[in-house]
Structure 1
Amino acid sequence: MANMMIKKQLRSISLPSRSHPSTSGIEEALNKFKTTNSNKSSSASILTGLAALEELYDCTDEFLNTSSTQRVMSTVGSDFMEEMLDGSLRLMDICSVSRDLMVETQEHVRDLQSCVRRKKVAGGGDQVNVAVSGYATFRKNMRKASKKILGSSKTIVGVSSSYDNGQCDEHLVAVIDAMRRVDVVSDVVLKSFLEFLSGRQSNIKRKLASVLKKKKDHHEETKNELESLDSAIRGDLCFCDYLQEKLEEVEMIIGGFEKNLEGLLRRLIRTRTSLLNIISH
């Protein structure tokens, strides 16, 4: 159901009929999502998406702090500003929870790695069994938390009919379109990340293409690194080198996720501050 909601809301977002010089930086950053070179929601494509979001929010904050943007945004109604603030808060919450999940995952993975190494040197499997049980329980809770966020996420609204391109200032329309597209792309990337954690099949390129009006691509279903580790544990391979290999793969991607989510959260906070400054002035 979450996937259907995402597809529906993305179809409701249309690109502006014309761009404005003031939004060129954001347009350029958004265009980079078109070059996502993975045809599935792999860890690599999600890491690329998160890194691209960091760059996008650097451009967004620069955009919000220009005098021309501040001037035109001060003329929009309170409904739009509330929409932007609500969106920023929602994205901050998702990013914060996701980062915390990565920190906890890293702790469990390193604990399990340590137990496996001690097992190979000194023997005895009790500690490994306890660590495996703890990780399996955590993964179950992680999937539940991810699905809960996906299920409770609000639908992003499309361009409001109260802002008619033919009746409003061109600059104002460009600002509204740009900010909403930033919100939608951010939502898509973070939801794809949550689907990665929950084990749902996802396609970040297909969803981003819907936002950016690019042709959809087919994708091949495959297990991600977390699911491969789950399979290793369920397959009673806890004392094999295979498990250690899968733990190393997970540790690597989790470290990347944690770093990018932390960087993105800082930028989301900064953007929210810029929005609040515009309102207060």
Structure 2
Amino acid sequence: MVSHHIRSSSYPSNSYPIVDQLEEQLCRLRSCQAASTSSVTSKLTGLEDLYKCADQFLQLPLNQKTVCQTQNKNWVEEVLNGSLRLLDICATSRDALVQSKERLQDIQSVVRRRCSDEIDTSNEVVEYLKTRKTSKKIIKKCLKDIKEVDRTNETNATESMLTEVQALTVDVFKSLLSYISGSQKGSWSFSKLVIQRSEKETEASISEFEVVDATLELMISQKKKVNVDKSQIVKLESEVQEIDEVLTCLYRHLVRTRATLLNVLSN
């Protein structure tokens, strides 16, 4: 996705420091998104900070006037439809996380009741994998339906800035969905994951979902007990909780920004 800046002479830095802050947040998040070592949580936190600035950006009288009086109806329709799509993606991601977390807690409960770290092909494991399979199908469809933001219809700096915010949001959400589905690097076997971990590849490059999924799928396919590193499940559950908390806050910011935009357009 090509990103660009348009600084209008209508945005004097001394009068509107929020413009500089928004551009700084955009630049920072683009760098975070491009870095292979950046975690999903750090990207989502950066996105939350970006929307805090975007909402303040929309509060500027100059921008409210520009948006309210715009003749670019295609842009208005696209940005409003885009905001709804982003809310849907955020809700889909949260649903997948919550369901996975519940199934992980069930598995941990089974492990704690045993003296060893071995778990058999219990109903809890089967249910977890079923949940993951369903989530992957939903996420795959969601990724397929995600549309790139049209950047060709902008007529002023305000439209360009808001379009760029949405475009970067789509990019981050695509990374999030790929991480949750465990499809960042395609289909991984358990042995490949072990090799990658032994080579000390950066943690951000391999989804914790992939690690746990591969371990449990191996157990089911071979129909035998497998030594499960309980720390893997604990780490994944902790990560799921962390991502969900950030997503909850981000969802509120997405709603607030959409409401602000609708209020501006209704005036």
TM range (shorter): 0.7 to 0.9
Match of 1:33 in 2: 29
Q: Structure 1: where are the runs of 5+ without partners?
A: 1-9, 164-172, 203-218
- Give the Cα separation in 1 of the matches to 2:153 and 2:225: 54
- Give the Cα separation in 2 of the matches to 1:39 and 1:275: 31
Q: How many residue pairs get matched?
A: 240
Match of 1:24 in 2: 20
Amino acid at match of 1:26: L
Would the aligned equivalents of 2:148 and 2:170 in 1 still touch at CA under 8 Å?
no
In the alignment, is residue 98 of structure 1 matched against residue 103 of structure 2? no
| Residue 65 of structure 1, CA deviation | 1.4
1:52 counterpart (15, 34, 46): 46
- Give the Cα separation in 2 of the matches to 1:37 and 1:231: 26
* Aligned counterparts, 1:186-205, within 5 A: 186-201=169-184
1:137 and 1:85, CA in 2 relative to 1: closer, same or farther beyond 3 A?
Answer: same
Would the aligned equivalents of 1:146 and 1:198 in 2 still touch at CA under 8 Å?
yes
SS in 2 for 1:135: helix
Identity of aligned residues (%): 30
2:213 counterpart (205, 230, 235): 230
1:39 and 1:279, CA in 2 relative to 1: closer, same or farther beyond 3 A?
Answer: closer
- Give the Cα separation in 1 of the matches to 2:34 and 2:164: 21
Match of 1:250 in 2: 236
- Give the Cα separation in 1 of the matches to 2:51 and 2:205: 31
Would the aligned equivalents of 1:26 and 1:60 in 2 still touch at CA under 8 Å?
yes
- Give the Cα separation in 2 of the matches to 1:221 and 1:103: 21
- Give the Cα separation in 2 of the matches to 1:106 and 1:220: 20
1:160 counterpart (138, 153, 158): 153
1:148 and 1:37, CA in 2 relative to 1: closer, same or farther beyond 3 A?
Answer: closer
Amino acid at match of 2:231: E
2:252 counterpart (266, 271, 275): 266
- Give the Cα separation in 1 of the matches to 2:90 and 2:151: 22
Would the aligned equivalents of 2:67 and 2:264 in 1 still touch at CA under 8 Å?
yes
SS in 1 for 2:113: helix
- Give the Cα separation in 2 of the matches to 1:262 and 1:37: 20
| Residue 177 of structure 1, CA deviation | 1.1
- Give the Cα separation in 2 of the matches to 1:177 and 1:136: 43
- Give the Cα separation in 1 of the matches to 2:118 and 2:69: 69
Q: Structure 2: where are the runs of 5+ without partners?
A: 186-201
- Give the Cα separation in 2 of the matches to 1:73 and 1:119: 62
Match of 2:75 in 1: 80
Deviations 1:160-200 (A, max 9, x none): 16x2xxxxxxxxx2211110110011000001111112222
* Aligned counterparts, 1:163-174, within 5 A: 163=155, 173-174=156-157
The TM-score normalised by the length of structure 1 is 0.77
1:133 counterpart (121, 126, 129): 126
The TM-score normalised by the length of structure 2 is 0.81
SS in 2 for 1:120: coil
| Residue 79 of structure 1, CA deviation | 2.2
- Give the Cα separation in 2 of the matches to 1:27 and 1:223: 30
1:222 and 1:113, CA in 2 relative to 1: closer, same or farther beyond 3 A?
Answer: same
- Give the Cα separation in 1 of the matches to 2:215 and 2:203: 21
- Give the Cα separation in 2 of the matches to 1:221 and 1:279: 40
1:100 and 1:238, CA in 2 relative to 1: closer, same or farther beyond 3 A?
Answer: farther
| Residue 39 of structure 1, CA deviation | 3.8
